[in-house]
A and B are shown apart, each in its own frame.
Chain A
């Protein structure tokens, strides 16, 4: 504009038009002198409280912007970039602010916990400008993650009996003598045996002291495979998917509490795997991956991934728990191969609910065919593994307590 005004002033030989240039130039000059300092520096900090949640509490985000410049910054824009699903209920994530020299501004906002997923909070962008916006300085603080994880349901116990057990005490019967709770055999009493273990009835019968022997209980290595392909079930797929995620979280939590090493393979819209490990931190890692689960069909078949990862991540004859609505017909072959390789297989299949109504007759027929195919798959899987058909409304805890040995089909 300045150049245009100068040209017009020279063309018309009218220096009064040049007066307007003086106004613009003065504004520029004064913005230079009084506007934004040459060097602007901020220290940015963010706290997400809490950054991991089960989705039943409000999330507070605290942003701190410390002005390290020796002058006040009057025109500041603070913008915390948020996912579309997050809407602040208290405060706001985009705000203008003024901040004094060496002063600190604190921006707070709070929102109700969004649906289960991993979210990016940020990046935080702080923009300082002079009042007329001639000069701009920006600083960015990288994004942090907020994980809304599935809350594990409390399960009393799942009686898994893999052939592989580890050296540490646990709850998995190991088919060898040792300290445990399950009766294994009888033998003659030898001095030093715990008198509490004397079997008095047997002692009376054999006329000598007989003691009970128990089966040692150990930990094992377990891989949970969560298949989130629910794409054929239409209106009930969301519920079916959430039940699968919930079951994986609950099983992982229970098995880790029992001292086992647990890994996870996530198949579906979002894929990932965590090798077997133990402890509280490992449980968080598994829940974090489960938080990212999305329904959908994986590009690579579950059967292939399961076979590949089981052989790499698990010792032979360990336990594999498959949680799947059983839509992939190849899964039968995968389970058969792993069973043949000596792995103990438990298939937990959340069964879809019958929709209240169908829009078309063909939809109803299609649904019935899918359900029939699923029933056939369940029966076929029952030949080589323990299969649990999980209907809606039945607590997982009640269902898992019915699971006994291998090669049984449990249905509520």
Chain B
């Protein structure tokens, strides 16, 4: 329950940390204004239970991270630390999904508000258990993905330093594309359009 409440204000902490770590010139010296806008959109999304606003705020942060990197390249500014970049990127994705979980949890609890019978108490317990399990799974996957990416990055850097040739870099990019393709499609059939979802839209998505 405490974690769910903390998630409601995650944009207040996340947005300033990410946006203020970007070079101010990338945002035309308007970093504070961008921080305020993104924080308000995210906060409103969390308070009003509007998933679109949450996705908008999170996608804005993801795009800002990428734009910060591009701007640094173009303006030849100091390059941000790759691990930090990756951490911020994955953290935004994690918090976007965690926020959706918090919204679903909140809406379920709202439906059970004021109901003091055994059936409602059981439903409340089920929602709490689900919330805990869902956040734990999200956290586990994010940490594992961060570790895996960092590991691959370190291996890539060692190889790149050892064989710093253009042809080798090209082969490395091609190999990366193939590996990514395998990772994305591993053990899965392509998703087909689902008639049930068309008929009865998802009440929440995480």
Contact = CB atoms under 8 A, between A and B. Distances in A.
B123 A91 contact: yes
Contact of A138 (B82, B144, B149, B196): B196
B54 to A, nearest CB: 13
B32 interface: no
B200 to A, nearest CB: 5
Interface string A29-54: 11111110010000000000000000
B146 A95 contact: no
Contacts of A17: 66, 69-70
Interface string B117-152: 101101100110111011001101110111011001
Given A16-B82, A20-B85, A77 B204 contact: yes
B205 interface: yes
Interface in A1-32: 1-2, 5-6, 8, 10, 12, 14-32
B5 interface: no
B86 to A, nearest CB: 5
Interface string B93-107: 100010000001100
Contact of B122 (A16, A89, A91, A140): A91
Contact of A31 (B79, B126, B141): B141
Contact of A29 (B115, B133, B183): B183
A129 interface: yes
A125 interface: yes
Contacts of B89: 20, 23
Given A18-B176, A32-B186, A131-B138, A23 B119 contact: no
Given A23-B89, A30-B144, A79-B200, A90 B119 contact: yes
B137 A74 contact: yes
Contact of B141 (A2, A10, A35): A35
Contacts of B120: 90-92
B133 A135 contact: no
Interface stretch (B20-28, B36-44, B187-195): B187-195
Nearest to A4: B66
B122 A108 contact: yes
A223 B180 CA distance: 73
Contacts of B191: 135-136
B141 A20 contact: no
Given A90-B117, A90-B120, A96-B204, A34 B149 contact: no
Nearest to B136: A74
B153 interface: yes
Interface residues of B, number: 67
Nearest to B148: A26
Interface string A73-89: 01111010100000011
A62 to B, nearest CB: 10
A95 to B, nearest CB: 6
A22 B152 contact: yes
A26 B86 CA distance: 11
B141 A81 contact: no
A38 B191 CA distance: 12
B130 A96 contact: yes
Given A81-B200, A94-B108, A132-B138, A5 B186 contact: no
B69 A16 contact: yes
Contacts of A6: 177
A234 interface: no
A16 B79 CA distance: 9
A180 B149 CA distance: 95
Nearest to B96: A132
Interface string A316-345: 000000000000000000000000000000
Contact of A140 (B79, B186, B196): B196
A157 B72 CA distance: 94
Count chain B CB atoms within 10 A of each CB in A10, A25, A133 and give the residue with the most. Answer: A25
Contacts of A5: 66
21 contacts: A10-B173, A15-B169, A16-B85, A18-B173, A20-B66, A20-B85, A22-B152, A23-B90, A23-B93, A25-B183, A29-B145, A31-B141, A34-B141, A75-B130, A81-B200, A88-B111, A96-B108, A105-B126, A108-B122, A132-B97, A132-B138
Interface of B: 62, 65-66, 69-70, 73, 79, 82, 85-86, 89-90, 93, 97, 104-105, 108, 111-112, 115, 117, 119-120, 122-123, 126-127, 129-131, 133-134, 137-138, 140-142, 144-146, 148-149, 152-153, 156, 160, 169, 173, 176-177, 179-180, 183-184, 186-188, 191, 194, 196-197, 200, 202-206
Given A1-B62, A20-B65, A131-B137, 12 more contacts: A19-B153, A21-B180, A22-B149, A26-B145, A27-B145, A28-B184, A32-B188, A38-B187, A91-B112, A96-B130, A131-B138, A133-B206
A-B complex: 4 closest residue pairs judged by Cβ atoms: A26-B145, A91-B119, A131-B137, A29-B183
